[in-house]
Amino acid sequence: MRVVKAMLRQPSALFGLIVVVVVVVMAIAAPLIAPYSPDNQMFDGLTLEGAPMPPSDQFLLGTDTLGRDLFSRLLFGARTSLVIGLVANGIAVAIGLVIGILSGYLRGFVGGLLMRFTDLMMAFPALLLAIVLAALLRPSLWIVAMVIALVNWVQVARIVYTETRGLVERDFILAERSLGAGHFRILFMHILPHLMPTAIVWGTLGIATTVLLEATLSFLGIGVQPPQPSWGNIIFESQSYFQAAPWLVFFPGAIILLTALSFNLVGDALRDILDPTQRGRG
Amino acid sequence: MFKSWLRNTTIATVVALTPLPSFAQDTPQQGGDIIVTYKDDIATLDPAIGYDWVNWSMIKSLYSRLMDYEPGTANLIPSLAETFGVSDDGLTYTFKLRKGVKFTNGREVVASDVKYSIERAVNPKTQGPGAGFFGSIKGYEDVTGGKTTTLDGIAAPDDATVIFHLSRPDATFLHVLAINFASVVPHEAVEAAGGDFGKNPVGSGTFVLKDWTIGQHLVFERNPDYFVKDMPHIDKFTVEVGQEPLVALLRLQKGEVDIAGDGIPPAKFLEIKNSADGPKMIVDGQQLQTGYITLNTKVKPLDNLKVRQALNMAINKDRITRILNGRATAANQPLPPLMPGYDKSFTGYAYDVEKAKALLAEAGFPAGFETVLYSTNTDPQPRIAQAIQQDLAAVGVKAEVRALAQANVIAAGGTEGEAPMIWSGGMAWIADFPDPSNFYGPILGCSGAVAGGWNWSWYCNQDIDKRAVAADSMSDPAKVAERSATWGKIFTDIMADAPWIPLINERRVVAKSLRMGGADNIYIDPTRVINYDAIYVKQ
Amino acid sequence: MALLILRRLVQTALILLGVAAITFLLLYALPADPARMIAGRSATAQTVANIRRELGLDQPLLVQFWAYLQGILHGDLGRSYAQKTDVGALIAARIPATLALMAAGILVEVVLGLTFGIIAALRRGGAVDKVVMMASFVGVSAPQFVVALLLLYVFAVMLGWFPMSGFGTPAHVVLPAATLGILGAGWYARMVRSAMIDVLNQDYVRTARAKGLSSARIILRHALPNAMLPIIAMIGIDIGQFMGGVVVVEAVYGWPGIGQLAWQAIQQVDIPIIMGVTLVSALAIVLGNLVADIIAPLIDPRIRAR
């Protein structure tokens, strides 16, 4: 309760919280809100020449290149994209954090091995893995989430590793060590809090990039398959129409931006409330 | 049948006689440099290997062959050959070569070069995709089987004479001698290139490759010694590769580019079409292409004829042409309208949802069924697949769309029992040569219905196969019309078995700058896409 | 130090071997037949079989992989299936453009990221900070293709300041590098900002401030070097990623980089090119990380190289 109250006092955090709630409600209640079926290619959804329709009373945000209602597709697309942006990206950041801390903190053989493993994973052709999986497996949301988690953790690990190496040599950590503090205590009480800003940066900016990455993977056949909408594939399908039908790029782009930004505002506020010494970072 | 074919040919002939009907006041100008753009790299300019629609037209212009076509038409004419004769049994073809034709390395083209070039195309070591086209030449099996490297069936008794002995009559043989794989190359240049002939081509065509900067551009200059006077018209063309089609169009509108080879992307088409200069920039014409959905006759429930017929009635083809901004027309048979043998009177299966539902119920699927529809993943193919998916849903058939990279779709199609339905868009490239037989063997005949084959319906009708062999044996030139009619009937009879849903005939759309001259049909040449020999710059 | 680098180079070779093995296995598992792709629609079954045999694709996996490794040891990356020429030459022809774009792109990212990151950190919580944060989200959320085309449209088509397409002069690199910079600077700005704030909060910086040192001096001498650590790591990551090719940006600006080569090869199942590009970009990634690890102790001497 304390947390919620504290949050309500910050206007930016409040804004973020509202957007997050709205997006989640959109995803859950999509069938109730959507004016049309997201897959319905309506005959009057295209002009006689076959061009998509701009926003109007009939189609709130316009239609796409198959004559489907964009608003309805964005509502249903929230389901896919939230899973990708939150779950897949969240797992990636978590794995990256753990491996990065361990390899930066543990010296000698184990730490080196972990980092070389990270290097190997980073050098690994992820797109190719996606293509092979797409051809071998039935494409689904969970497979694409898994691939994204598998691909994205390495960069986080790399950054966290470097930061941890800097942290472990700082005076306060050295002091803790000389006082005989356990590894566990040092890692979680002293190093992890300093890494939270990095985790928040990657956890929130990553929402936007993974949502877009999902579209690339869908294109290669591994993600959600047509006609199921996701914010990423709505943009991807219509990006070349940005002049002829700007609404097809603007609205999905705006909602991705807004969602990622709002999670960032909420994340910052949460950390400020829970750990006042770190105020303003992130 | 006969009449409609005749009319097509007549139109084609008229076009050929007056090469510039839409710019009748112009005469082709000599000179000028132009710039052409493509997205993909040029794979190879080796005529025994190159087999995609981009390098096809460049190879056509770099080399010459015994036979060729009048620009913009499907009419065969002798090219490197001066005259030719066919024996009464259709098994012996004798060609007399033009005198004084030189390769661009300076050496004269002689009969043994023709023999060498075709043997090279057939030799497995070359890894050429076109070997099979020469299957009717005597001794073919011995070469492909690796027993020898010379074809018994080709003789070069003197420098000016080439004689072909066939093991069976082949009505398409003159077309075969006009395809790229039959291009004449000098053996010394092939050997000197040491396996890189595709990057260092030497021929006797209208153009010479002057420079190839990998990943950036290729420069072609006119061959001043080409054996037809005033051919080609332009002095030079530069092909810039790696150019995104949308950007290529922006550059074309700005005057930096003369031909956008990849055509106009859907996102830009209406804007250009409706612009002031649009009609002068767009070349929009029929090509020898049919887009179809294969219905796998070896997968349940598509093995049921009634189901296949029902699906044929379920697709709203007009809506699909609208999605393509009207750049296609609805198809009802495998052959495209420009192909000899196309049956104008054939109506096929009309769009009728109620009848489709009734047929499905008759077949025992009143509630429909679930299936999978494969498609390639480049725009607009997944969109068309989704339109098909919606139409199928309307008759109760739930199709899962799987949009994959082209290679994976091809692999799935060639695996028995794997892909129930495939939308061919993006893969059904234009015909190798303008003859109806080209639409049968590999994609509808028994020989293609094998693992790794291209007959993704796995349709094999022995009776039709026999009729196809018979039609291809009608090599007497006097029977051309009769043969086309025979082929036409074969294709309409195939539709009774409904192994395909013939969907649309896509038109080809090329964008060219205002200074480019020449009739539309040399930018959408049925045998070479862009005919670099015939285009010219208006001064 | 020399020993360390030697050890890391040996590890690099092992990583490359691992990448090569995994990639080879993946391509082998891919249900797509390169021989079929080359042969096209009209080839007979026999033609396809002949092509497969000539390419050595009928051999067992291990035999193929062994032959490939032997080639690599002799500096031979094999021959492209579709282009019928040396993969080494195809890749080498695209290295200059790839390197140029990589360097220019990272430069723009770092300059933008450092500038705005530092400003935001110093004006923490203020309007400038909020604008920078907002902008970083806009950059990261924007689809590459659209950003690239918009820049092209405004600066090349409408204003005519830069050429629309191609490679060769410094003017050509401006727009592609700006695109990469705009898309990626957000990450740098946010990382710089949070690292700077962390450093500015530390005791020794507070002490320095208390001693009356000017803020410019504090930033340059104390705060910035520490904030550079994660930035160095990010540059290492970007070197690797940009060396693998930036497909969309290259395509829009007609930039002859490795990305376009790789993308076409993947679509044509041109295994030798895919392998070659994968190995080159893997090498770049590992070297990029190695350089980052070596530079880190130079910037922050407390870190020991390992």
Give the ipTM.
Answer: 0.86
Dist CA B38 CA B259 (whole Å): 9
Question: CB C282 to CB A249 under 8 A?
Answer: no
CB < 8 Å from A in window 223-262 of C: 226, 229-230, 232-234, 236-237, 240
Helix and strand numbers (H, E) in chain C are 14, 0
A62 dihedral zone (left: phi>0; alpha: psi -120 to 50; beta): left
Chain B residues with beta carbon closer than 8 angstroms to that of A220: 377, 404-405
Q: Taking CB atoms and an 8 Å limit, are A221 and B404 in contact across chains?
A: yes
User: Which residues of C, range 76-95, sit inside 8 Å of B by Cβ?
Assistant: 79, 82-86, 89-90, 93-94
Residue C272 pLDDT exceeds 80: yes
> Does A226 sit within 8 Å of B322, measured CB to CB?
no
- C239: its two tokens: 């070197």
Two structure tokens written together for A218: 């869908």
C104 interfacial to chain B (CB closer than 8 Å): no
Least Cα separation, residue C44 to chain A (angstroms): 25
CA distance C11 to B409: 39
Q: Which residues of C touch A212 (CB under 8 A)?
A: 141, 143
Residue with more model confidence, A166 or B361:
B361
> Which of B214, B256, B428 lies closest to C164 in CB terms?
B256
Four-residue CA torsion sign, A221, A222, A227, A229: negative
How many other C-beta atoms are found inside a 10 Å radius of the C-beta of residue B506? 22
C183-197 average pLDDT score: 88
Nearest-angstrom CA–CA distance, B254 and B243: 15
**Closest Cα to residue B342, out of B78, B132, B529, B526?**
B526
Q: Do B386 and A41 touch (CB under 8 A)?
A: yes
Per-residue pLDDT for chain B (539 aa), expressed as one digit of tens each? 233 333 333 333 333 333 434 444 467 888 899 999 999 889 899 999 998 888 999 999 999 999 999 998 889 999 999 999 999 888 999 999 999 999 999 999 999 999 999 999 999 999 888 888 999 999 999 999 889 999 999 999 999 999 999 999 999 999 999 999 999 999 999 999 988 999 999 999 999 999 999 889 999 999 999 999 888 999 999 999 999 999 999 999 889 999 999 888 888 899 888 888 888 899 988 888 899 999 999 998 999 999 999 999 999 999 999 999 999 999 999 999 989 999 999 999 999 999 999 999 999 999 999 999 999 988 889 999 999 999 999 999 999 999 888 888 998 998 999 999 999 988 856 678 888 998 898 899 998 898 888 899 999 999 999 999 999 888 887 888 899 999 999 999 999 999 999 999 998 888 999 999 888 888 988 888 899 999 999 87
> What tokens appear for C89 in the block?
């030459």
Distance of CA A33 to the CA centre of its chain: 24
Residue B242 falls in which region: left (phi positive, over 0), alpha (psi -120 to 50) or beta: left
pLDDT at A155 over 80: yes
Percent of chain A having pLDDT more than 90? 33
- Enumerate the residues of chain C whose CB falls inside 8 A of the CB of residue A280: 124-125, 197
Dist. CA B461–CA C145, nearest whole Å: 48
The closest alpha carbon to C293, from A109, A161, A152, belongs to A161
C164 touching B (Cβ < 8 Å): yes
Q: Which residue of A has its CA nearest to C123?
A: A280
Q: Kindly report whether the peptide bond that precedes residue C225 is cis, defined as omega within 30 degrees of 0.
A: no
Are C285 and A123 inside 8 Å of each other by CB?
yes
Q: Are C233 and A159 in contact (CB < 8 Å)?
A: yes
Are residues B215 and C38, on separate chains, in Cβ contact within 8 Å? no
Q: Do A65 and B383 touch (CB under 8 A)?
A: yes
Strand order in the sheet with B291-295: B328-330, B500-506, B291-295, B421-423, B370-376, B398-404
Q: Which of residues 50-109 of C touch A (CB under 8 A)?
A: none
Q: How close B292 comes to chain C (CA, Å)? A: 14
- Mean pLDDT (chain A, rounded): 86
Q: β-pairing, B81-86 with B154-158?
A: unpaired
Q: Across the interface, which of B213, B411, B453 has its CB nearest the CB of C31? A: B411
B166 exposure class (CB count in 10 Å sphere: 0-12, 13-18, 19+) = buried
Select the more confidently predicted residue: C29 or B221: B221
Closest CA to A154 of A129, A124, A118: A118
Residue to mutate among C51, C52, C55, C85, with most B CBs inside 10 A, is C85
Q: Select from B230, B292, B204 the least CA-distant residue to B494.
A: B292
Would you say residue A147 has pLDDT above 90?
A: no
Which residues of chain B lie closer than 8 angstroms to A225, CB-CB? Answer: 400-403
Beta strands in B223-299 (DSSP E): 236-240, 259-260, 282-285, 291-295
CA–CA dist B47, B496 (Å, integer) = 39
**Nearest chain B residue to A135, by CA:** B408
**Nearest-CA distance C224 → chain B (Å):** 41
Put simply, the answer to whether B386 touches A241 (Cβ < 8 Å) is no
Q: Among C10, C141, C290, which would you mutate to test the A interface (most chain A Cβ atoms within 10 Å of its Cβ)?
A: C141
Consecutive H or E run containing C249? helix C247-252
Minimum mean pLDDT range among A179-193, B350-364, C243-257: A179-193
pLDDT digits (tens, 9 = 90+) for C33-90: 888 888 887 788 888 888 888 888 889 999 999 999 999 888 889 989 888 889 999 9
Residue whose token pair is 């509202």: A18
Partner-chain contact B322 A227, CB within 8 Å: no
Q: How far is B425 from chain A (nearest CA, A)?
A: 16
